[in-house]
Amino acid sequence: MITRGVSALSQALAAREISSVELTQLYLDRIARFNPTLNAYITVDAEKSLAQARAADELRAAGNATRLTGIPLAQKDIFCAQGWLTTCGSKMLSNFVSPYDATVIEHFNAAGAVILGKTNMDEFAMGSSSETSFYGVVKNPWDTARVAGGSSGGSAAAVAALLAPAATGTDTGGSIRQPAALCNLTGLKPTYGVVSRYGMIAYASSLDQGGPMARSAEDCALLLNTMAGFDERDSTSLDRVKEDYSRELAAAKGDKPLAGLRIGLPREFFGDGCAPEVMQLVEAAIGEYRKLGAETVAVSLPNMKLSVAAYYVIAPAEASSNLSRFDGVRYGYRAPEYDDLNDMYARSRAQGFGEEVKRRILIGTYVLSHGYYDAYYLQAQRIRRLIANDFVEAFRQCDVIIGPTSPSTAFRLGEKASDPVQMYLSDIYTLAVNLAGLPGMSIPCGFADRLPAGLQLIGDYFSETKLLDVAHRYQQVTDWHVQHPDGFDRAV
């Protein structure tokens, strides 16, 4: 049962093969056994989870079930959930119990899904390895001496180790796609504005976007159907007609299901910088797409080389503003000793934030300061527009862009912790997608030295259905996405 994905578990619940209470207890038992090794979850509350499962079983008995009713899901600890400790991986929020639900949580609750727990993450989503968490590092189930990726590393490790069938993540510069690649998952970052940000603790407001992490494109489509939708409480939410993102997946398309699909191969993705063993797997995946009927065309994203520099001006600038609310006054951590109000602010923030968060706040404050705004922040925004324009031009020549998700497989714990620049370069293939606001996803494409590698698919605005279909067709003829790490595939 634990190796089944969301869709298969939904069918099992509908057929009364298992109840939601039994399924939830199965995962809770596994979390109790394996989480001490992986540190994937920050908070687990069996009483709350089982209460939701009992309510889900009652809904099914009354004939009022959705496809997600009774499905246990892990929630990244960046989403506020009423009555749950919501820490964002930080000491600053280590005592914060949310009084309300994020819109994403509301949607899952309305669908009858069960919250298994809140997953570990880089502090305030700032990191590429889930090593900056106040609650300790997340370990990769494929090799516990290596990182799980970040910032959604807890969600990735939980799903990879079969401690949840699926999970939510957030993606500011690759934080769904990169850990999905390092943990052998399918992860989708939707078009900016498709999923509400209300109740999702902000890092960089113009870049953050929530999305699903699961084992297959089919499961991601089911989750996105619930997560997506207009929210008047979020000024960045897009008012669009509701879609069924799984509508293309079941369509019969013959021997060449992707005939006519044009896959763009940016020369900037296939030069230096990617590990040869990863590039070999990416090229093999492209070969599979050609067998499925797709044609490949060369495209260019000339300004992509500037994405790291632009991102690490824009994101810290927005973070310095967003994190100013954590001052020790209204909620969260407050320094135990201080002299006056200003001293309380300073001590609370100095003690409550970790080193990476403080580094980015300082950078952001600097680039927004008088005399530097035009030289740095405004210039980065201009580069952002150039990057978006490059994608517009590329999509005139192709339907989907393909390349590596991460330049390497999972690196060792602590390997890049002392070198922020090297850590930032882990997201070199993913940052441009966020800067442009495009949808992107990562799917498993093989193993190098027994470590997973990811293939990145990038689509035009609002092309999530197409991306999911393209990913699904690949997963129908390969089995990378159903591989599990050794030692975690036993029932308990």
Which sequence positions are flagged as catalytic?
76, 151, 175
Tokens of 185: 């998952």
CA angle 223–225–231, rounded 5-degree value: 110
Q: Which amino acid is at 138?
A: V
Nearest alpha carbon to residue 345 among 328, 332, 365, 333? 328
Torsion sign (Cα): 48, 53, 58, 59: positive
User: How many residues comprise the chain?
Assistant: 492
Is the separation of the CB atoms in 172 and 204 below 8 Å?
Answer: yes
Q: Strands 167-170 and 210-214, how do they pair? A: antiparallel
Residue 98 phi, psi (nearest 5): -70, 135
